[in-house]
Amino acid sequence: MTERSLVPIQRRARAGDPEAQYLLGKGYLEGSYGLPQSERAGFLWLEKAARQGHNDAIRLIGEAVAVSAVGDLDAAAPLYESAAAMGCLRAQRVVANRLLTNPDGDYQVAWQKLVRAADGGDREAQLRLAWLYDSGEGVPRDRECANHWYEKAAAQGSLAAQHQLAQFHWDREDPAAIRWLAPLAKQGDVEASYRFGVLLGSLGRSREAAAWLRRTADAGHAQAQFALGMLFTARGGVKANGVPHSYKKAAYWLEKATRHRKQALTQAFFELYRLYGSKTSSCRDPALARQCLEQAAEKGHTHAQYLLGCAVDRRSGVPGADVSAAQWLSRAAARGHREAKALLELRCPPPPQRADEVRARHEQAIRLLARCNLAVATRFELAVEFDLMWHEALMIVPASADRGECLVLDFRDQVRGSRRRIVLVQHGRQRDLLDRSHRILTGDPPFPGDLRGSFDHRRRSFERICQGCGVKLDWRQRLCRASETGLGFAKDKFGVIQLADQA
């Protein structure tokens, strides 16, 4: 209920008295005289007084009225500019932000006003200045200056500044992050609590770390669940780690980390594999260990992919084991796993590096064949790119041979003496060629002019197509050369034609 003393003030304010308008606007801002606190209503009355030149009303607008309560900032801009001229820090920041967001604004004037407000202690101006230095918008990017202003704003309680400082030091694995994480964690920030616990653990304060991690893990934080699970696996017990050594509790928290709806941690799957697969673990379960290893590999864990590839590679009697092993090892090698790369090169040797002159002759032969028969030219290109034997190049069906990371070449039923081979798809050029060969060599009906029938029939068709293109082959010699391209073809010990560079 409004006070009686307000009635004459309201009457005079409505009559246009600037002093009464000022008092009424101040009353709304402060919630005095029994008035409901309203920044918007306070601004409307203060604006009336300010338009009549009331300096206290102008100053109060600059110091106490947020931009969100103004409505039309363009109309109120002169009032904030007047307040800024009187030295109001908040008004200087409002004017500076308005100029910074205006394409036609004076950037130098805006910067001066922003610096003046920040130096005077305006927290939002300090935060804005820090962000400008951090992003490099309008000024050279300077993280030290940004941190200087972030620290000033954080000292005044800015959560945004504390988050920025905590993130900066956390990214650099700097223990100084604990200074900014502590207040955020105590206010209930889940991510800050997790990081605070991790840093406490790195500083040897394991008992406190376990308490913070437990609190965050109970809140459903996947990484905290993982970290807490790893604490339970560590030797040393309560004295060393703040938690007792327990494989069962470790498995409990690690499994929770893998079941997180938004972020199932890949490393947690791998640690569960180690836990269930360890001979000393009370939770030993080889079947569960294998399942966790497969899940870790499927989610992209590099070492898990390597281990799974090795495990599958040892299952020589299982159909398709060689293909599965090559796929897992190939994925691990693509992520930089050196052991996987070495084993892969042993199992599936890469094609030899050919000299520039030889590659040029190959390209010339492909162009000659493409003019006459695109399907045969594609088979020739596959032979060159993947170092295929000729029976493989002439018999291959890309749709059935392509397994993503590798090609499976098995023509033992069609070509006597041949053997099953796995050839890796190693780079984007080979993948593009395979995708193109899918379209050309696979289809119903078959591509016109493509080779059909047995290997001998296809070889004779290939000879005939080469002769039609002006490429003459002499199969009677050990090394046979194409007269116009300089390409050579040699027979292996099984009598199967294989590509060979010109001697």
> For 402-413, how does the pLDDT look when each residue is reduced to its tens digit (9 = 90+)?
999 999 999 998
In terms of Cβ atoms closer than 10 Å to its own Cβ (0-12, 13-18, 19+), residue 130 is buried
Predicted pLDDT of residue 472: 56
Q: Over range 115-120, report the average pLDDT.
A: 85
Q: Across residues 40-59, what is the average pLDDT?
A: 84
Percent above pLDDT 70 for the chain: 90
Give mean pLDDT, residues 412-436. Answer: 90
- The pLDDT of residue 471 is 63
Residues 209, 29: Cα–Cα separation, whole Å? 45
Q: Quick one: pLDDT band at residue 499, thresholds 50, 70, 90?
A: very low
Per the model's pLDDT, the better-predicted residue between 270 and 313 turns out to be: 270
Percentage of the chain exceeding pLDDT 90: 32
Tell me 402's DSSP state: B
Q: Is the pLDDT of residue 503 over 90?
A: no
Give strand pairing partners of 408: 422
Predicted pLDDT of residue 120: 85
pLDDT tens-place string over residues 11-42: 888 888 888 888 888 888 888 877 888 888 88
Four-residue CA torsion sign, 155, 158, 164, 166:
positive
Q: Return the pLDDT at 340.
A: 94
325 touches 312 (CB < 8 A):
yes
Going by pLDDT thresholds of 50, 70 and 90, the confidence category of residue 502 is very low
Domain boundaries, the chain: 1-86, 212-347, 356-500
pLDDT surpassing 90 at residue 193 = yes
Average pLDDT rounded to a whole number, residues 380-385: 88
**Mean pLDDT score, 354-380:** 84
**Angle formed by the axes of helices 356-372 and 455-468, to 10°?**
90
Mean pLDDT value of segment 440-448: 78
pTM for this model (two decimals): 0.70
3 or 482: which carries more pLDDT confidence? 3
Whether residue 347 is predicted with pLDDT greater than 70 in this model: the reply is yes
Q: Which one has a higher pLDDT value, 419 or 83? A: 419
**Res 483: pLDDT:** 38
The answer to whether the CB of 496 falls within 8 A of the CB of 383 is: no
Q: How far apart are CA 377 and CA 355, in angstroms?
A: 21
Class of 212-347 per CATH?
A: mainly alpha
CA-CA-CA-CA torsion sign (150, 155, 159, 163): positive
Arithmetic mean of pLDDT, 290-301: 94
* pLDDT attached to residue 292: 95
Mean pLDDT of 318-340: 91
Higher local confidence (pLDDT), 353 or 446: 353
367 exposed, middle or buried (CB, 10 Å; 0-12, 13-18, 19+)? Answer: exposed
Backbone φ and ψ for 111, nearest 5 degrees, come out as -65, -40
Predicted pLDDT of residue 303: 96
Q: Is the pLDDT of residue 496 over 50?
A: no
Is the pLDDT assigned to residue 163 strictly greater than 90?
yes
pLDDT in tens, 194-241: 999 999 888 888 888 889 999 999 999 999 999 999 988 887 777 667
Give me the pLDDT at residue 262, please.
64
Lowest mean pLDDT among 10-14, 47-51, 87-91, 226-230: 87-91
